Amino acid sequence: MIKILVYVAVVLAVFAIGYLVKVYELASALKGKKQHEVTDGDNRLMSKFMLTFLFVFFAFVIYNLESYGPRTLPESASEHGVALDWLFNFNMAILFFVFTITHIFLFYFAFKYYGRTGNKATYIAHNNKLEMVWTVIPAVVLAIIIIFGLKNWNKITAPASKDAIVIQLYAKQFDWTARYAGKDNELGESNYKLITGENPLGMDSTDVKGNDDIIVRNEFHIPLGKEIEFKLNAREVIHSAYMPHFRAQMNCVPGMTTMMHFTPIITTAQMREKLNNPKFDYILLCNKICGVSHYNMQMTIVVDTEADYQTWLNSKSTFKKKAAAPEVKAVAAN
Ligand SMILES: [Cu+2]
């Protein structure tokens, strides 16, 4: 009902404006004014609006930077992220420079050179020098950005080193499971046909490589200063492993393994201190709209010192021990 009333109000408003314009035109005709004539006075007024807009607009931009700037991500917690942030800031610096200059010219010139009767605009058909300047400068700047970008991209996407800690991140609707490769640093085989309620990753219990694997949910730990190699899998639809504080993201695709790696450089405790926020936690999010509970598909990441990481990892039981556990429980129940 309210919707219909709003529609009716909008339609009536449009009619009302139409009639007002008609009344204005008739009044002008009666006064002997030429219809739609733009006077120098009108142009002067508009030019002043242009200049006012320039200042209001920049004030708005500065206000937005001030109020929303602090909501952006804190400094990068991974090694490659520092280089990425530098590249991002370099891009932003160029953008802001060009943005400021062009907007000042746009609105200041509209103010200064507003239309006056008898004034004629200069007509320039072609100017080689100008063409060169506005082609060569952007080309050089773009080339610099692309070269820096490619250099970083090659480093980030290069294969991980052999001694990197291997962790599988398994995505399904709607949660994450992390699996550590254990002492042998090799993940055991898995197969979707083996998936059951007790074996959500479909681990193959005949593969000895999987015996020392450690499966954790809700929270996973990684050690400071060590390279971590993530192997990403998805069960049913495409998910995306997004770790914003580490400037890392990679799609998880059913039927294949995707990979990424990074080295954390700030522990959770250090970051809490830096941000003066004792509740801060690194987070793994799903960044692909994968279904109704996509928004809640997350896992806490804890960056520990090497010693704390080992203690945490040792407190977890391996796949083999866990597989044996249900029998123990059954005995206890009897
Ligand atoms: Cu998802």
Inform me whether the pLDDT recorded for 202 exceeds 90: no
Position 77 in a domain: no
Inform me whether the pLDDT recorded for 207 exceeds 80: no
Inform me whether the pLDDT recorded for 117 exceeds 90: no
Structure tokens at 289: 């709209």
- Ligand 1 centroid–CA 288 distance in Å is 6
> Which backbone phi and psi does 203 adopt, to 5 degrees?
-70, 140
- Ligand 1 centroid–CA 272 distance in Å is 27
pTM of the model: 0.75
- Ligand 1 centroid–CA 302 distance in Å is 21
Position 125 in a domain: no
- Ligand 1 centroid–CA 158 distance in Å is 26
Position 196 in a domain: yes
Inform me whether the pLDDT recorded for 191 exceeds 90: no
Strand partners, 231: 168, 259
Inform me whether the pLDDT recorded for 331 exceeds 70: no
- Ligand 1 centroid–CA 308 distance in Å is 30
- Ligand 1 centroid–CA 293 distance in Å is 8
- CATH number, residue 256: 2.60.40.420
The pLDDT of residue 324:
63
Number of domains in the chain: 1
Q: What would the pLDDT profile of 210-236 be if each residue is shown by its tens digit? A: 778 888 888 999 999 999 999 999 998
Position 267 in a domain: yes
pLDDT band for 25, please (50, 70, 90 cuts).
Answer: confident
- Ligand 1 centroid–CA 297 distance in Å is 6
- Ligand 1 centroid–CA 95 distance in Å is 33
Position 310 in a domain: yes
The sheet with strand 165-172 has its strands ordered as 214-217, 175-180, 165-172, 228-234, 258-262
Domain span at 191: 165-319
Position 61 in a domain: no
Task: Tell which residue, 314, 312, 302, has the closest CA to residue 212.
Answer: 314
- Ligand 1 centroid–CA 99 distance in Å is 37
The pLDDT of residue 100:
95
Position 229 in a domain: yes
Average pLDDT on 143-156 reads 91
The pLDDT of residue 199:
80
Average pLDDT on 281-309 reads 93
- Ligand 1 centroid–CA 241 distance in Å is 8
Position 329 in a domain: no
- Ligand 1 centroid–CA 177 distance in Å is 12
CA 330 from centre of chain: 47
The pLDDT of residue 139:
96
Q: What would the pLDDT profile of 47-77 be if each residue is shown by its tens digit? A: 999 999 999 999 999 999 999 988 889 999 9
- Ligand 1 centroid–CA 287 distance in Å is 7
Strand partners, 230: 167, 260
The pLDDT of residue 326:
53
